Structure 1
Amino acid sequence: MSVVILYGTETGNGELVADAISDVLAVDHDPAIYDMTEFAVEDLDPADFLVIVCSTYGEGELPTGAEPFAEELDAVDPDLTGLRFAVFGLGDTVYGETFNRGGEIIAGMLTKRGAVQVGEHARHDNSSPVKPAKQAAEWAEGIAAVIAPGEAG
């Protein structure tokens, strides 16, 4: 099964996380990584497994890198029935209630259109000593099992 990893980032951490996830998933799958600014909504395919990596900017907004994708989702409003996805969010607990909102916003936009979120919704905390790429690699090990149960070799 093909895996599409989309990242939305403000500072570049999302891209590093996407690379770490890709490295883990490449063992059993064929991941492709795209910046959300360069991925067209009409290319979402229910036959693929989608991994969303999204940071949070400001007071709980989407990062600049995720805005074009979100705007296109709203404009096109595709039927995403059958699409399965997982989310790795980046944020900082110093922002309290808006911690990790970026990933939650994108997840909500996808489920509203019929997609199904699977696995743990990871939420990296930039205030923690754990590096985002390390947490992402560990999370990806768990996600690998739900991508296509029984398919991994």
Structure 2
Amino acid sequence: MPTLKIFVGTVYGGALDVAEQVKPLFEQAGYEVSIYDQPTLDDLVGSPTDLALFCVSTTGSGDYPGNLVPFTRAIVDDGPDLSELRYGLIALGDSSYGDTFCGAGRSLDALLSEHGAYRLGERLEVDAMETFMADDAALPWAEAWIDEENLQVA
């Protein structure tokens, strides 16, 4: 059974909630799903990752949540080859912050790409000013992502 690893960067739990809400969709699509709410680089590269999904909120002025900082720092410091990685990304933010809206998700997307990872489809950016519950946007996006990227394996 292929694996989907969901990596979460969260401050108040919103991104973790999104991860937990989309998990059953991927299980129904035939994946063994694991959620990492304190992700490490070894979680990503230490064992095979057939598909990854990043659920990342933004804090401060476009910064990574504290639980994601060691993960991103390890990518920068270790420079792993991620050319085998296929991933999707759900970024949570608040457009009232202007230019830093979804800054952590955008930064992570760029970082993964710099190391050779391939994003499947478009990044979802959820605006807290428009969407009270992020999973209201994430669930339809995940369903469409599975369909449009032919990720169904079951």
Q: Answer whether TM exceeds 0.5 for this pair.
A: yes
- Alpha-carbon spacing, 1:107–1:68, altered in 2? closer, same or farther (3 Å): same
For structure 2, the 5+ residue unaligned runs are none
Aligned to 1:21: 22
Aligned to 1:119: 121
Aligned to 1:132: 134
The question of whether the paired residues in 1 share the 8 Å contact of 2:131 and 2:137 is answered with no
Aligned residue type for 2:18: V
For structure 1, the 5+ residue unaligned runs are none
Q: Work out the CA distance in 2 between the residues paired with 1:144 and 1:21.
A: 11
- TM-score by structure 1 length? 0.90
Which runs of structure 2 are paired with 1:86-101 in the superposition (5 Å)?
86-101=88-103
Aligned residue type for 2:130: S
Aligned to 1:42: 42
- TM-score by structure 2 length? 0.89
SS in structure 1 of the partner of residue 28 of structure 2: coil
- Alpha-carbon spacing, 1:81–1:150, altered in 2? closer, same or farther (3 Å): closer
The question of whether the paired residues in 1 share the 8 Å contact of 2:146 and 2:152 is answered with no
Aligned residue type for 2:21: A
RMSD of aligned C-alpha atoms? 1.7
Structure 1 position 50, deviation (Å): 0.6
Structure 1 position 151, deviation (Å): 4.6
Pairs aligned (count): 150
